[in-house]
């Protein structure tokens, strides 16, 4: 049944584009500085939930799958800091992955260099 594959691929590409726009809008809103720290945690949790839904619709192996978990981890680390709970320090690699998950730049998320602007 190869007749359905282009539709699935087409849909997956659109879902990945929606995820990129979602990342951009969520990051822009968080960067405005109008959110309290706890509102920022809730904002990240909402972002993670939306990415989870997009990832589920796109299916395994898509560029969207798993991104919600990365954003959720960031939200929970932030909540731990706000609660003054000890947390495990993340290394440079994890920080890069976290940034890629919320940067909105699909090149960064796929490990590609960003194009010159």
Asked if the structure places residue 110 within a domain, the reply is: no
The mean per-residue pLDDT over the stretch 62-76 comes to 92
Within a domain: 59: yes
Residue at 79 is within a domain: yes
- 54 within domain boundaries: yes
Range of the domain at 22: 2-105
Q: pLDDT category, 100, cuts 50, 70, 90? A: very low
Q: Are 60 and 91 in contact (CB under 8 A)?
A: no
pTM of the model: 0.66
Judge whether 78 lies within some domain: yes
**DSSP 8-state class, residue 35:** S
17 located within any domain = yes
pLDDT of residue 85: 75
Are 78 and 48 a contacting pair, CB within 8 Å? no
Given a cut of 70, whether residue 6 has pLDDT beyond it is no
- Tens digit of pLDDT for each residue in 20-63? 999 999 999 999 999 999 999 999 999 999 999 999 888 888 88
């Amino acid at each position: 049944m190869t007749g359905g594959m282009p539709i699935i691929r087409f849909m997956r590409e659109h879902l990945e584009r929606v995820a990129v726009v979602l990342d951009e809008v969520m990051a822009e809103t968080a960067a405005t500085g109008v959110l309290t720290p706890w509102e920022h945690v809730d904002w990240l949790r909402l972002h993670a939930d939306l990415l989870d839904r997009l990832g589920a619709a796109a299916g395994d192996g898509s560029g969207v799958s798993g991104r919600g978990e990365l954003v959720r981890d960031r939200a929970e680390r932030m909540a731990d800091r706000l609660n003054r709970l000890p947390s495990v320090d993340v290394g440079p690699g994890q920080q890069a992955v976290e940034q890629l998950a919320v940067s909105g730049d699909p090149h960064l998320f796929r490990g590609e260099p960003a194009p010159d602007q």
